[in-house]
Amino acid sequence: MKKLLAVILSVLIFCAVLPFSASAAEKAEGPANVILMIGDGMGWNHLELAKQERVKSLYMEDACDARGWSMTRSQNKVVTDSAAGGTALSSGVRTNNRYVAVYHYDPLGWFRVPRTLSEAALLSGRRSGVITTDTTDGATPASFTAHTTDRSNSADITRQQEKSDFDLIWGGAVAAFSASRAQKNGFSVVTTLDEMQALQPGSRSFGQFDYDMMWRTKVAEGSTAPTLSQMTEKAISLLDGDDGFFLMVEGAHIDKWSHTSNEPDNYDTKVANAAEAVEEFDKAIRVAAEFAKKDGNTLVVITADHETGGLKIIDGKYTYTSDSHTGVDVPVIVFGSKDFIGKDEQIENRQVAQRIGAYMGMGELFPKAVPGKLFWAYAGVRDWFLTLISR
Ligand SMILES: [Zn+2]
């Protein structure tokens, strides 16, 4: 009798375990997740600067599965800005500096615009979001969520984001943002760390946080802003599900601090803050990479849109030689795939996006040119005419 009970018990336990292992196997075969992490302005020497000034080692270097180089030039300049650099990484095409996800030959997007990875992800049935320490209308998040002629078109970028179907758009607060317009389109609007943490899966959200505080490695006293690593962790928990997701994470302040003056009265602050921004970006990378390891079906790609500051070794120390962008090649660091990029392989920035599209099995969806404004104007007139004659 005892033996029979033991057998029945074993069968029951086996059956209870079975569905879990089956669903785990299904998950691994489902749509792949991709987390693309952009260290704005981050050259290889920024990692060295951070190690010289602030940390013993960096997770992104020590734990990664592969690493190579990205050549960052834009269509019209040897040195790209964040708009053209972001467009290469979002859309797989090179465009002119200042242009945001539009072709260099059609800057107003009249005829055609390139589809972004974030948009393609939505079309493939995935969830899709962007998070940044920059304001939400910054050139990098804008390159994934809007199409416009100039990166300074804040109202246009913000209006497109408010009207979009993205699951989350989080960053520093923007003057042109309208909470009521965003809410009308189904977004929950969050402005503090606590509000962000309270968001539930299935909700779509727009984050407008305290820009001056969110780049730091920990939440400063009195600050209500989340850090980049807190945003990354929460965003992943909201986006993760059976449908797969695409998330763009930008550490914007590596660039921002590297742009400040090299004059002696500012230099130490500049170095300390840039190193802290690299450290916080690395913490966010650890969050993403540890999720990827556990999940088994997530690719994490870390790169930069360009280098900022011309960091070089002078007298044995990593030192800024410029307060602007340079054209040097930047890192491509990968977790979750050993063959996304070959060892020390050098690829064009737009190939990063093209390879991500291929990894996600986008096929015809990406890269892709989609009809521009003239088509939508024509479609509007045609629909109006059809309604008129059908009366
Ligand atoms: Zn910059």
Residue 339 CA, ligand 1 centroid: distance in Å:
30
Residue 256 CA, ligand 1 centroid: distance in Å:
6
Q: Examine the pLDDT at 12 and tell me if it is beyond 70.
A: no
Residue 23 CA, ligand 1 centroid: distance in Å:
44
Residue 133 CA, ligand 1 centroid: distance in Å:
13
Residue 210 CA, ligand 1 centroid: distance in Å:
20
Question: How far is C-alpha 236 from the chain's CA centre?
Answer: 12
Residue 83 CA, ligand 1 centroid: distance in Å:
10
DSSP string across 3-49: HHHHHHHHHHHHHHHHHHHHHHHHHHHSPPEEEEEEETT--HHHHHH
Amino acid at 378: Y
DSSP string across 94-154: ---TT-BSS-TT-TT-SSEEEPPHHHHHHHTT-EEEEEEEEETTSHHHHHHH--BS-TT-H
Residue 276 CA, ligand 1 centroid: distance in Å:
17
pLDDT value for 4 = 55
Residue 214 CA, ligand 1 centroid: distance in Å:
18
Q: Which residue has the tokens 């920024």?
A: 46
Residue 84 CA, ligand 1 centroid: distance in Å:
11
Q: Examine the pLDDT at 191 and tell me if it is beyond 90.
A: yes
Q: What's the whole-number mean pLDDT along residues 85-113?
A: 97
Residue 9 CA, ligand 1 centroid: distance in Å:
64
Percentage of residues of the chain with pLDDT beyond 90? 85
Q: Examine the pLDDT at 2 and tell me if it is beyond 80.
A: no
Sheet holding 330-335, edge to edge: 187-190, 204-209, 168-172, 127-135, 245-251, 33-39, 298-303, 330-335, 66-71, 346-348
pLDDT digits (tens, 9 = 90+) for 342-372: 999 999 999 999 999 999 999 999 999 999 9
Confidence at 24, pLDDT banded by 50, 70, 90:
very low
3-state secondary structure of 2: helix
DSSP string across 326-360: E---EEEEEES-SSSS-TT-EEEHHHHHHHHHHHT
Residue 183 CA, ligand 1 centroid: distance in Å:
32
Q: Examine the pLDDT at 26 and tell me if it is beyond 50.
A: no
Q: What's the whole-number mean pLDDT along residues 310-324?
A: 97
pLDDT value for 57 = 98
Q: What CATH number matches the domain at 30-383, 3.20.20.70, 3.90.45.10, 3.40.720.10, 3.40.50.300? A: 3.40.720.10
* H or E segment to which residue 80 belongs: none
Residue 145 CA, ligand 1 centroid: distance in Å:
19
The better pLDDT of the pair 217, 152 is held by 152
Percentage of residues of the chain with pLDDT beyond 70? 92
pLDDT value for 220 = 76
Q: Give CA separation, 282 vs 73, 87, 217, 252, in Å.
A: 25, 23, 10, 13
Residue 282 CA, ligand 1 centroid: distance in Å:
19
Residue 353 CA, ligand 1 centroid: distance in Å:
20
Rg for the chain, CA atoms, rounded = 22
Confidence at 391, pLDDT banded by 50, 70, 90:
confident
Q: What is the rounded average pLDDT for all residues in the chain? A: 93
pLDDT value for 5 = 54
Residue 38 CA, ligand 1 centroid: distance in Å:
13
Residue 143 CA, ligand 1 centroid: distance in Å:
14
Q: Examine the pLDDT at 13 and tell me if it is beyond 80.
A: no
pLDDT value for 31 = 83
pLDDT digits (tens, 9 = 90+) for 200-238: 999 999 999 999 989 998 887 788 999 999 999 999 999
pLDDT value for 74 = 97
Residues lining ligand 1 (ion), CB within 5 A?
A: 255
Q: Examine the pLDDT at 22 and tell me if it is beyond 60.
A: no
Boundaries of every domain in the chain: 30-383
Residue 64 CA, ligand 1 centroid: distance in Å:
26
